[in-house]
Structure 1
Amino acid sequence: MALDSNERPSKPIIKFESMLKTDDVYFFDAEDFEDIIHHYLNNGKISLAKKAIKIGLQQHPHSTELKLLNVEVLVFENNLEIAEQHLDSLQLLDSNNEEIYIQRANIYSKKDNHDAAVELLKKALSLAENNFEIFSLLGMEYLFMDDYQMAKENFMRCVSMDEQDYASLYNVIYCFEFLEDHEGGIQYLNDYLERNPYSEVAWHQLGKMYASKKMLQEAIAAFDFAIISDDSFIGAYYEKGKVLEKMGKYNEAIGNYETTIEIEDPTSHAYLRIGRCHEKLGNYDQAKHFYYRTVHEDPLLDKGWLAITEFHYKKGEHEKALYYINKAINIDEENPLYWKKSAKIYTALKNFDEADFSYKQTVELGNYELDTWMNWGNVVLLGSTDYKSVIQILEQGVEFYPENADILFKMAGVYLMDNNTTDAIACLTNAFQLDSDKFYLFQNEFPQFSDSKLVTDLISDIKKASR
């Protein structure tokens, strides 16, 4: 198994690097070469690992372990055919070496044949029981296959073998979350904490689990224990701040976010959270100050630009809101949220042509939310009498929301404005059957039609047919 990447270079590594700087050739044991190669692989120094493998095989041409490390590098560099040829040769010499099956599994995994990779890893496990690395690899393969139950079980085995293996612990919790088994995740973490009461990582994850279950007091307690275990654990302060926000304790939330800034370099996310808390408290100058700091710290954070834009929009400062959303669009013109906010601002400014263009960009960039289609239709209605264009927009929306009565009631009204009674009746009938309680939407938006004989007779017929 590979050495810890944080381990200090050992004497063989120092000796090897000294040799590379001279024309001398030093002799190393095969085990020394293995340690040297693992060190370079763990630190991402592939070229040095390859040099060590080459010299190592020159000095120890029959070393199976060095040959397998060579295969590992070949697989890493996607030289899969050559790697398989080497494995074929090695398997003829040592068919019971689990590392051969592990590397074959890695090859199949790279080829997206995860079922075959799992079978090979199971074979490796039969040759080397309770092998930590194999359980970890099995867990990853099951994740690739979206089999979160089996992934969870294998990562649990890793944690049971090494309770300080936080990578596997995170994966276990990820599986619980994906399986929406929050109760199971909470129980698992509480059991883990019985054995490891000062694990800040486990307390932090438990707090997030409680928060997802809206068990806010329990979440706060868990984050407090994480902080007691490690008072420099930024994640615990940040997540505690988020929970305090949900509880309406904005001043306390600000205190926790400020602590994250004191411990480490400030982040745009912390500034944004502080700004939102100040806005909720009515400290508008402070809120604006922190929103500006957010976008200064990270000009690419869309939430920052949207927050400062929304801040001015709420205050009725539409020109300022437009200025900042345009700055955001200039930074990232392919962000649909920016264009959607731009459309909203142009609508408030009664610039319906620009609002129409912004909604078009929003949709072209992949935002297909219901309110996008509805508001786009409204904008075209406000700016023109081009009812057919409005119908075309709403028809696209119906493709995404065929069972939504809101958009169908709206489309029925536009059809009536366009004197298309046949399609209007079809839409109104469909909408009423989907959700008759939403008929008030049609009545409010199209009062000129809601009491017409056509509509009242149609509604009466639908009600009779449904009895």
Structure 2
Amino acid sequence: MQYSQEDENFPLTRFESMLKTNHILFFDSNEFENIIHHYLENGKISLAKRAIKLGLEQHPSSVNLKLFQVELFILENKFDEADELLDHLHNLEPTNEEIFIQKANVLSKQDQHQKAINTLLIAIDLSKTPEDDADLYALVGMEYLFLDQFENAIIFFKKCLENDSTDYSALHNIVYCYDFLDQHVEAIEYLNEYLNTNPYCEVAWHQLGRQYYTIKDYVKAGAAFDFAIISDDTFVGAYIEKGKVLEKLKEYEEAIENYRITLALEDPTSFALLRIGECYAKLNEDDLAIQFFKQTINEDPLLDKGWIAISKFYMKRLNYQKALHYIDKAIVIDGNNVAFWKLYATVNKRLNHLEEAERGYKKALDLGNFELNTWLNRADVLTTLGDYKAAILNLLQGSEFYPENAEVEYRLAGLYFTVHQFEEGRFHLKNATELNIDYHFIISELFPKLIERPMIQSIISDAKKTSN
């Protein structure tokens, strides 16, 4: 069912003109195939249906037109109708590989992937050209991916590339499988073999560079990206990856050069702008860093990394007011971003805006950020604010996620002693010292008035003797 773009245009114009006039014209079956293929490719399903109906009225015995009917049935999840028509077509043409391909498609859509594979293997036996084989091997590989059988998928994607060395989607799928299996060395070996026979394949060089980057061999990664650029000097992805490698090697000026090339090759990307900003920050060229961070958030206000980068930039330079200015803006854009609220809390804590800091930590928890530090930081802020009951409740909730955690237990002990619930305080302090005596400094740091109490000193002292 191949078609030529040049051949398609005139019959297509005639067909659409016929639909407008309701005057039935005759088309040969190949013309109908091209018309239907065009509509399916462009997602014009209702027009494809009309073309199939008219096509079968004019050519009722055309197997190819009936196969298009099967495709429509599959698109509409009418699997029984598709199966029935395929069985009929198989009786007419038992060696037509396209019938088996569509049968496999029906099975795949019904999650019967092993049966789909068996059916595709029959189609491979019937296929007549290496190009057909390549497509079929790729389909088998995809079915194995559905089954999470990555080793088998690799075998068939490799067969696909043996028949068609330019099928880069198969190459990507091979690397995806190796990545999933954590077999980076095997991926590198395969890509090097492939490049021996396809030395100017920029896609393979790019993938090879990514594998070397993953195993932290940055020098070899950089060389691979260089070869990708030599093969295609407009390959934006290769310049980006080369920039990332140079950052790892602390060669920030060269990294900036590579990122800048991408800005010249296509519209500026927020990622490249952000990386340039980060590089200038590392070079202590603050004005340029800020310039590119601002460009990043102007280019893509929804990129959270841009807002976080500019806020952290000011935090590192102890300009907490500026940091807060940008994190406030970020929260207006996306009030459900956990990273923003954590940063909001941290900045406010540094500014001693404790109510706002507590609000930030609480919001992060409400949004599902249950990291230990979030529970602990909120408890410490509530403790400083003197809201001991809320601090206790917060830590009890946190202990459900981190049971038997010494940092939680010491804080609970200090808080219970502070509110004169001595039995609970004693229980949690004993718990804490048994879990980790080295953290007992938490009591003196957070609850300095308690450390002199004989009961507390006695529990800590006994625990120290036991641990020695």
What range is the shorter-chain TM-score in?
A: 0.7 to 0.9
| Aligned position for 1:30 | 29
Matches within 5 A, 1:61-460: 61-87=60-86, 89-90=88-89, 93=92, 98-111=97-110, 113=111, 116-129=112-125, 131-384=133-386, 386-402=387-403, 404-424=405-425, 426-428=427-429, 431=432, 438=439, 444-446=445-447, 454-455=455-456, 457-458=458-459
Runs of 5+ consecutive residues of structure 1 not aligned to the other structure: none
Give, in angstroms, the shift of residue 349 of structure 1: 2.4
Q: Secondary structure at the match of 1:311?
A: helix
Equivalent residues of 1:98, 1:128 under 8 A apart: yes
In 2, the alpha carbon distance for the partners of 1:388 and 1:149 equals 56
1:55 aligns with 2:51: no
Equivalent residues of 1:257, 1:273 under 8 A apart: yes
Equivalent residues of 1:208, 1:219 under 8 A apart: yes
Give, in angstroms, the shift of residue 372 of structure 1: 1.7
Cα–Cα, structure 1 residues 106 and 364, in superposed 2: closer, same or farther, change >3 Å?
A: farther
Deviates more, 1:129-138 or 1:248-257: 129-138
In 1, the alpha carbon distance for the partners of 2:176 and 2:437 equals 41
Equivalent residues of 1:245, 1:253 under 8 A apart: yes
Indicate the structure (1 or 2) with the bigger Cα radius of gyration.
Answer: 2
Deviates more, 1:80-89 or 1:195-204: 80-89
In 2, the alpha carbon distance for the partners of 1:48 and 1:37 equals 8
Q: Secondary structure at the match of 1:197?
A: coil
Equivalent residues of 1:121, 1:134 under 8 A apart: no
In 1, the alpha carbon distance for the partners of 2:442 and 2:245 equals 36
Task: Among all aligned residue pairs of Structure 1 and Structure 2, give the percentage whose two residues are the same amino acid.
Answer: 46
In 2, the alpha carbon distance for the partners of 1:424 and 1:88 equals 77
What per-residue deviation string (whole Å, max 9, x for no partner) do you get for residues 225-279 of structure 1?
0000100000000011011111111111100000000111111111111111111
Give, in angstroms, the shift of residue 362 of structure 1: 1.3
What per-residue deviation string (whole Å, max 9, x for no partner) do you get for residues 424-463 of structure 1?
5554555555555555556655565567654565456657
In 2, the alpha carbon distance for the partners of 1:305 and 1:243 equals 24
Equivalent residues of 1:99, 1:124 under 8 A apart: no
Give the length in aligned residue pairs.
Answer: 459
Deviates more, 1:394-403 or 1:324-333: 394-403
Letter in 1 for 2:270: S
Letter in 2 for 1:50: K
Equivalent residues of 2:100, 2:122 under 8 A apart: no
Equivalent residues of 2:117, 2:143 under 8 A apart: no
Letter in 2 for 1:128: I
Letter in 2 for 1:373: W
Question: Normalized against structure 1, the TM-score is what?
Answer: 0.87
Cα–Cα, structure 1 residues 9 and 347, in superposed 2: closer, same or farther, change >3 Å?
A: same
In 1, the alpha carbon distance for the partners of 2:150 and 2:141 equals 9
Letter in 2 for 1:387: Y
In 2, the alpha carbon distance for the partners of 1:195 and 1:432 equals 65
Deviates more, 1:82-91 or 1:345-354: 82-91
Cα–Cα, structure 1 residues 444 and 209, in superposed 2: closer, same or farther, change >3 Å?
A: farther
Letter in 2 for 1:381: T
Runs of 5+ consecutive residues of structure 2 not aligned to the other structure: 128-132
Give, in angstroms, the shift of residue 9 of structure 1: 1.5
Cα–Cα, structure 1 residues 174 and 127, in superposed 2: closer, same or farther, change >3 Å?
A: closer
In 2, the alpha carbon distance for the partners of 1:79 and 1:139 equals 25
Give, in angstroms, the shift of residue 219 of structure 1: 0.6
In 2, the alpha carbon distance for the partners of 1:30 and 1:425 equals 89
In 2, the alpha carbon distance for the partners of 1:75 and 1:64 equals 16
In 2, the alpha carbon distance for the partners of 1:138 and 1:206 equals 25
What per-residue deviation string (whole Å, max 9, x for no partner) do you get for residues 170-195 of structure 1?
11111111211111111111111111
Letter in 1 for 2:361: Y
RMSD of aligned Cα (Å): 3.0
In 2, the alpha carbon distance for the partners of 1:445 and 1:423 equals 18
Equivalent residues of 2:113, 2:146 under 8 A apart: no
